[in-house]
């Protein structure tokens, strides 16, 4: 999607659909009054009214897009308006979308453009015979701005966000026969062109490090497990202590020998959404040359049933030295994170670690499909994440880490078991398990099983499918709290 910023006076080209952003209670008077009187359009947020060749106006098509009340209209509101404008005209047959918000300041116009970019995301590489009339027709978007040059200057950091979110959505959308650990690692390696340093550890290297927990998960797969280390050194002091992000990258989760039921198992191709978000975060940080040192670690495996797969009851030794009785091979994400997190803190001694993982179905039961779960041993880090979440429209809700539930993951024969003895509080006991691999440093765990994929979507900037959840939230966290 090509984006331009134009002045209100700029001529409207042929094949253009005009979307006019309207605040609630400020519906336009004049030639549209009759059309408006015949509709229920009030300008409420998310409403649209599609008018073809409106009488008295020299326009082929006009869509009114409700933005809600003028007070409280913020960057997210502008984004949603841009996205709704795109969605309304997406398959109209017109080629140019022109979004009008008279007097829009540079930052607002840039947010509108971001909304268009995010809404226009589409994963269509495997469609070979989609009829032309079903394909999106809009090729180009013009956003009207009070000062087009200033808007153009404000846009690049937001375009970097859109590029990174698209990168993550592509990874998460790919089926598991295409995107297995080595292919995921290869695509991340390509990001070196942005200035990132990418190291890839294979099974022999991980064996040497003693990562029995991560390796046990991948041992039933013909695909080699990978640990990817991504580094961005943007701080003025290249040796300044980094911050760190770790992602669960289970490229497919069958459950292993504790196999999942067939219904819906295809969803487990997106069980690498945490690693996808960390890769997207590194992408945006490098694109906008963030002034901070950051490490991103991806634990990439495929969890398969096989003659060589690990069995329920097996005991593995993690890199930390702690032993784990694998009661359920489907609780594999925490086994991957245990070694990836340990490696991260051991090698990089970061200021803090945030991990992201599509970890538990229980977080969906607890929070529904819009909120991710936040677990943290540090109130300041937790609050910073909640603030970033609010500003970026990626909802997050803090959950407890009660010490008294810790005994539920004690084992009779090893240091711990990988699942709780009962079903209660499944997301919490999973987080408590991970916490056993975190030393004395601030840490937060985001369980994004609820938010990595949307079907259907209720947010105009997120088409159905991979959301890219986490990229924006973490980018905002880094930008506001750790740069400079
Ligand atoms: N990848 C799943 C969690 C998941 C479920 C992600 C639904 C996205 C949508 C995870 O590996 C898993 O299987 N968790 C088990 C844990 C259980 C065995 C304790 C679960 O949630 O059922
Ligand atoms: Mn699982
Ligand atoms: Zn999983």
pLDDT in tens, 261-293: 999 999 999 999 999 999 999 999 999 999 999
Q: Is the CB of 419 under 6 A from ligand 1?
A: yes
pLDDT of residue 276: 98
In this prediction, residue 46 has a pLDDT band, given cuts at 50, 70 and 90, of: very high
Q: What is the mean pLDDT of residues 357-383?
A: 98
CA-wise closest residue to 460 among 9, 21, 8, 59: 21
Report the distance separating Cα 447 and Cα 468, nearest Å.
14
Residue with tokens 């991979």: 466
Q: What is the mean pLDDT of residues 140-153?
A: 97
Q: Is the CB of 287 under 6 A from ligand 1?
A: no
pLDDT of residue 159: 98
Active site residues: 260, 334
Which residue minimizes the CA distance to atom 7 of ligand 1? 361
Contact by Cβ (8 Å): 68, 25: no
CA-wise closest residue to 274 among 438, 442, 450: 450
Residue 369 phi, psi (nearest 5): -95, 5
**What is the distance in A from the centroid of ligand 2 to the CA of 253?**
6
pLDDT of residue 457: 87
Q: Does the pLDDT value for residue 56 go beyond 90?
A: no
pLDDT of residue 287: 98
- In this structure, are strands 140-144 and 396-398 parallel, antiparallel, or unpaired? unpaired
Q: Cα(first)–Cα(last) distance of the chain, in Å?
A: 32
Percent of the chain whose predicted confidence (pLDDT) is above 90: 94
Region at 68 (left for phi over 0; alpha for psi -120 to 50; beta for the rest):
left
The residue whose CB lies within 8 Å of the most ligand 1 atoms, and thus the one to mutate among 270, 299, 361, is 361
- In this structure, are strands 465-466 and 416-417 parallel, antiparallel, or unpaired? unpaired
Residues sharing a CB contact under 8 Å with residue 419, sequence separation 6 or more, in sequence order: 327, 328, 331, 409, 429
Q: Does the pLDDT value for residue 397 go beyond 90?
A: yes
In this structure, what token pair is assigned to residue 343?
């490696």
Q: Is the CB of 281 under 6 A from ligand 1?
A: no
* CB-count exposure of residue 290 (10 Å: 0-12, 13-18, 19+): buried
Specify the pTM. Answer: 0.97
Of 24-38, 220-234, 306-320, 362-376, which gets the smallest average pLDDT? 24-38
**What is the distance in A from the centroid of ligand 3 to the CA of 268?**
7
**What is the distance in A from the centroid of ligand 3 to the CA of 277?**
15
Q: Is the CB of 369 under 6 A from ligand 1?
A: no
Helix/strand/coil for 18: strand
Q: Is the CB of 170 under 6 A from ligand 1?
A: no
In this prediction, residue 85 has a pLDDT band, given cuts at 50, 70 and 90, of: very high
Within 124-210, residue ranges assigned H as helices are 148-154, 156-173, 181-189, 203-209
Q: Does the pLDDT value for residue 54 go beyond 90?
A: no
**What is the distance in A from the centroid of ligand 3 to the CA of 331?**
7
Contact by Cβ (8 Å): 455, 464: yes
Q: What is the mean pLDDT of residues 308-333?
A: 98
């Amino acid at each position: 999607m090509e984006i331009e910023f134009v002045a209100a006076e700029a001529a409207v080209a042929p094949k253009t659909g005009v979307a006019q952003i309207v605040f609630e209670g400020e519906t336009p008077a004049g030639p549209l009054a009759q059309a408006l009187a015949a509709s229920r359009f009030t300008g409420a947020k998310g409403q649209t009214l599609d008018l073809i060749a409106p009488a008295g106006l020299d326009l082929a098509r006009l869509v009114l897009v409700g933005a809600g009340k003028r007070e409280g209209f913020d960057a997210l509101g502008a984004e949603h308006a841009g996205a709704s404008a795109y969605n309304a005209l997406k398959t109209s047959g017109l080629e140019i979308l022109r979004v009008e918000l008279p007097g829009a300041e540079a930052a607002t116009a840039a947010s509108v453009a971001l909304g268009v970019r995010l809404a226009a995301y589409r994963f269509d590489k495997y469609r070979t015979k989609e009829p032309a009339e079903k394909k999106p027709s809009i090729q180009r978007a013009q956003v009207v701005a009070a000062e087009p040059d200033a808007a153009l200057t404000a846009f690049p950091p937001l375009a970097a966000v859109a590029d990174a979110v698209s990168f993550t959505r592509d990874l998460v959308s790919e089926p598991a026969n295409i995107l297995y650990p080595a292919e995921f690692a290869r695509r991340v390696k390509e990001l070196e062109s942005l200035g990132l340093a990418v190291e890839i550890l294979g099974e022999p290297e991980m064996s040497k490090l003693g990562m029995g927990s991560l390796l046990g998960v991948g041992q039933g797969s013909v695909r080699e497990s990978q640990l990817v280390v991504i580094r961005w050194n943007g701080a003025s002091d290249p040796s300044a202590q980094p911050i760190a992000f770790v992602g669960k990258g289970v490229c497919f989760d069958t459950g292993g020998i504790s196999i999942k039921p067939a219904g819906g198992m295809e969803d487990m191709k997106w069980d690498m959404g945490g690693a996808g978000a960390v890769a997207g975060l590194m992408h945006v940080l490098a694109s906008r040359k963030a002034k901070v040192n950051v490490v991103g670690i991806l634990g990439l495996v495929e969890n398969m049933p096989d003659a060589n797969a690990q069995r329920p009851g097996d005991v593995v030794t993690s890199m930390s030295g702690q032993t784990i009785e694998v009661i359920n091979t489907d609780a594999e994400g925490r086994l991957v994170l245990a070694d990836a997190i340990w490696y991260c803190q051991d090698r990089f001694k970061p200021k803090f670690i945030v991990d992201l993982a599509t970890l538990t179905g229980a977080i969906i039961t607890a929070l529904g499909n819009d909120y991710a779960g936040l677990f943290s041993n540090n109130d300041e880090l937790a609050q910073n994440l909640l603030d970033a979440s609010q500003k970026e429209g990626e909802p997050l809700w803090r959950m407890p880490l009660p010490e008294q539930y810790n005994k539920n993951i004690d084992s009779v024969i090893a240091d711990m078991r990988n699942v709780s003895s009962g079903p209660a509080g499944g997301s919490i006991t999973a987080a408590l398990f991970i916490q056993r691999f975190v030393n004395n440093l601030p840490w937060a765990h985001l369980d994004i099983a609820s938010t990595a994929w949307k079907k259907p979507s209720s947010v105009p900037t997120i088409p159905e499918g991979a959301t890219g959840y986490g990229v924006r939230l973490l980018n905002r966290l880094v930008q506001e709290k750790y740069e400079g």
